[in-house]
Amino acid sequence: MKIKYMLPLILLLLTGARSNAQKVPVQKPEFLEYTHSKWVDSIMNTLDPDEKIGQLLMVRAYSNKEEKHKQDILDLINKHKIGGVVFFQGNPEKQVQLMNEFQQASEIPLLGAIDAEWGLGMRLDNTVSYPFQMALGAIQDNALIYEMGKEIAGQIKRSGLHINFAPVADINNNPDNPVINARSFGEDKKNVTAKVIAYMKGMQDSGLLTTAKHFPGHGDTNVDSHHDLPVLNHSRTRMDTLEIYPFKELIKAGINGVMVAHLNIPVLDTTGKPATLSRQIATSLLQDELGFEGLIITDAMGMKGVTKGNAPGIVDRDALMAGNDILELSEDVEKAIFEIRKAVQKGMIREKDIDAKVRKVLAAKQWAKLSDYRPMESKNIVRDLNTPHARLLNRKLVEASLTVLKNDGNILPVSGLEKLKIASVSVGASEETVFQKTLALYTAVDHFRLPHDASSAAIEKLKEQLDDYNLIIIGIHDQGRLPKNQVGFPEPVLAFLKEISGKNSIITSFKNPYVLDKIAGIEHAGGLIVAYQDSKLTEELSAQLIFGAFGASGKLPVRIGNKFPIGSGMETKGGIRFKYTLPEEAGMNSEFLHRKVDSLMQEAMDNKAIPGGQVFIAKDGKVVLYKAYGFQDYSDTVAVRKTDLYDLASVTKISSSLPALMQFYDQGKFDIDKNLGDYLPYFKNSDKGDLSFREILAHQAGLTPWIAYWKNTLRKNGSYKWSTIKKDSSSRFPIRIADHMWLHRNYRKKIYKAIKKSPLTGKKEYLYSGLVFYLMPEMVENMSNTPFLTYLDNEIYRKLGATTLTYNPLSGFPKERIVPTEHDYEFRHLPIHGTVHDEGAAMMGGISSNAGLFANANDLAKLMQMYLNMGTYGGDRYIEESTFREFTRAQFPENNNHRGLGFDKPYLESKGADGNTAADATESSFGHTGFTGTMVWMDPEKRILYVFLSNRVLPTRENTKLYKLNTRTNIQQVIYDALKE
């Protein structure tokens, strides 16, 4: 044999050897078992040649277009018996209605498809958008990806469709890729492969057809095939071991479909044809070599990557000749059928090959249950597509994707709040962001914004303002729909980011991760978080991560230049502060919980028991409901906000001196079995001197319940005694009660004297009394050698981040943020707004342990969660657990006294309507209520925290409807009931 003939033969043998060596056992797609079913056979017997071709065509459909669009599709269905439709933008109700109409018009059930790579939200309004695949690439638990696949499958099927053109199996190894990029799971082929298989299996296990794309790999391109034909100049070894690798593994795993891309790959086809039109790629490689027998689908046939230089109809024919089964979005259905029919007549395409393709399409329809087609109901579809499970899964995915690249000095999670002055800067945002609002849930944060086009002067001003802060939290925002690899900031803004990136800064990037390589110096930030995309959910959860609601676990799925390699990512501590989430994450029913609580609050407002209020519910440290209801007063003008402050009334008793006394108990400075006279010598030689604090705090010391101190300031004619109250302040009258009321500086002594002289009942039995709580601030000061408010702020409130937990709130908050209480026409002669309701506390300068504290529900809950945690919160221990066990147990149950030390407890025999708690509250639970209509309650056994704030005393304390309706404990019972639902 001559050498010139031997070389081609040797090459052919080598090629065959390589092809045979690469063949591996594959799992056939399940739908193939139906290719010769009775249903498929019966339909094949009814189709003429043109109708068979029609079954291989899918056309574009929108649910947000005019009537003509619908009629055009109906014409294609009636005239050409097209095989299916691919839905794009619109809304789910209209999509279902249209699909039902299309199915009704079609003699053969239509295959409904959608390109929903990150869920229906990619195409439809009012539906869930899951994270882009690059964010998912950071997740370490692929079971979450599988669960997402199942959920997306259920949503797509509920919207009347049967196939998802996903997952994207491309390995994005080109940071400048303009079309794949964030749509890819990343750069590591094994990570990408594991995740595309998990996603695929989740969908297919739930009865949805899937399509891996874009074969043989679109990741290393710098051209968008929508606009031109990309060229991949790689060796065959490179293609086999990298680009094609995920597709091989998907085929082994039983993928239903593969979408062929518009790519020019010379090593696979020297003709320069797009892969879509290449028999060497769509048949020889994909089917013969890789053994794929499922549906082969073209990428959209209107893209410039395939239409350039190819006429409509002809290009469809060539795609079918190349080996594709379904032509997606043909530009001209009639021309496509004409050219394909002509090719069959000329012998360019065998009729039996057309039949085989049609049988595959029909088999896929039967597997998708279209052989038993029923119209889809559009009623309640938006609710069905936005279930709590779907929303919670989305949160879990985002949470698991967040990636911490820097954590110098364990700056994350943020600790030592009492030492920090924190600023947040949103770069590229036009208004206060969700990120900033969520940061503010944890502590006081001053917010700043830097527009993407900020001037140098604006930047200099901002830098001067930031000099006062020792922690700066920066969010780098992206306003685009897709997180593209573009910085989008001018040089002055980039210079600012470089300068601000230091050890006292935490930066969260909501942009494409590749952007970090284009921001100089960002790697020097003390904390650096990659959120991968900008959405309300990524912003909210990134802020929660910063304060330790949960820990970071994400790993970078791509390399960021020379700054961070693939796999970078640090774990951080979580579970140390509140996690704001959905009730389902705490094992509760969202719909039931919100409906019942809303209903009970509405009932109270309708009956004018309260004008409005705040409700806060947490389970296991997870905030499952935090809402503001109604208005600040009955005038219906100022709606209650979650940031508004309420007068806590007697909840002050367990929120001020009591935690300090427990700390002193731990330190050996305070003994509950010592007496009042031991700590306040003024009372030593009185009948109060020998009262033990165990008895006092359990309300079993026989003290008088209450003294109307204010009545001693009045003459018989109702005017104020000259020695007590003046209209103007002075050195002798420095204590402000109201604008026109200034109390004598020594009046506190009169209060002490009144307490000292008050009669004892002579019985050691339960009788609620707040008298000694007026004295406790002095005790705290004596034991700590620190002013009372300073001690509370430094040792408790600021450390907790409870910055609205305060006395005399007008000194730090605008009046409009403070909810008014009673119209006092007996003592102060004015509506009370911004000062304490309790007269005695007002006469103590607003500072007492009996009453006087203000807060919003969120900040009060931080203190209560510390109690529920038996002394810990935010990674700090405030009080020993043994101390809490002692203070929160019933001290004298043998005397029918249900009280703990300072804390209220459930009645020993009565609960529910006849008790002070919900019927299901456990014996270990504890809390307190307040005269203004407040309640806090903790249940350590069930890990439940409940805060209820209202101003039921508006306009008068005589309004007792809140008690009669039993609103507070009825809502508390709903919490327990929600756990049973």
pLDDT in tens, 919-953: 999 999 999 999 999 999 999 999 999 999 999 99
CB atoms within 10 A of CB 104: 11
Q: What is the pLDDT of residues 578-596, one digit of tens each?
A: 999 999 999 999 999 999 9
Residue written as tokens 């085929």? 251
Q: What is the pLDDT of residues 315-331, one digit of tens each?
A: 999 999 999 999 999 99
Average pLDDT over residues 6-17: 40
What rounded mean pLDDT belongs to the chain? 95
Residues of the chain with CATH 3.20.20.300: 26-384
pLDDT for res 20 = 42
Adjacency order of strands within the sheet including 853-855: 646-647, 853-855, 806-807
pLDDT for res 913 = 79
Residues of the chain with CATH 3.40.710.10: 595-980
On whether the CB atoms of residues 170 and 242 are closer than 8 A, the answer is no
C-alpha to C-alpha distance for 924 and 942, rounded to whole angstroms = 9
pLDDT for res 18 = 40
Q: How confident is the model at residue 17 (pLDDT cuts 50, 70, 90)?
A: very low
Average pLDDT over residues 371-392: 96
CA 894 → CA 264, 844, 899, distances in Å?
Answer: 88, 36, 11
- Going 534 to 537 to 539 to 544, the CA torsion angle's sign is negative
Average pLDDT over residues 792-814: 97
Give me the CATH code for the 595-980 domain, please.
Answer: 3.40.710.10
One-letter amino acid at 628 equals A
Question: By mean pLDDT, which of 551-565, 746-760, 852-866, 878-892 is the weakest?
Answer: 746-760
Residues of the chain with CATH 3.40.50.1700: 402-577
pLDDT for res 981 = 84
> In the chain, what percentage of residues exceed pLDDT 90?
91
Adjacency order of strands within the sheet including 725-726: 725-726, 741-743, 735-738
For domain 26-384, give the CATH superfamily. Answer: Glycoside hydrolase, family 3, N-terminal domain (3.20.20.300)
CATH architecture of 402-577: 3-Layer(aba) Sandwich (3.40)
Instruction: Give 729-742 as a DSSP string.
Output: --SSS-EEEETTEE
Which residues neighbour 856 within 8 Å (Cβ) at sequence distance 6 or greater? 614, 642, 643, 644, 645, 646, 804, 949
> In the chain, what percentage of residues exceed pLDDT 70?
98
- Going 441 to 442 to 443 to 444, the CA torsion angle's sign is negative
- Asked whether the predicted pLDDT for residue 469 surpasses 70, the reply is yes
pLDDT for res 23 = 53
- Asked whether the predicted pLDDT for residue 501 surpasses 60, the reply is yes
Question: By mean pLDDT, which of 220-234, 609-623, 647-661, 955-969 is the weakest?
Answer: 220-234
Average pLDDT over residues 383-403: 98
Average pLDDT over residues 640-650: 98
Q: How confident is the model at residue 224 (pLDDT cuts 50, 70, 90)?
A: confident
pLDDT for res 825 = 87
Q: 62-100 b/e with 16+ CB inside 10 Å = b?
A: bbebeeeebeebbebbeebbbbbbbbbebbbbbbbbbbb
Average pLDDT over residues 95-107: 98
pLDDT for res 310 = 87
The pTM for the full model equals: 0.94
Q: What is the pLDDT of residues 265-288, one digit of tens each?
A: 999 999 999 999 999 999 999 999
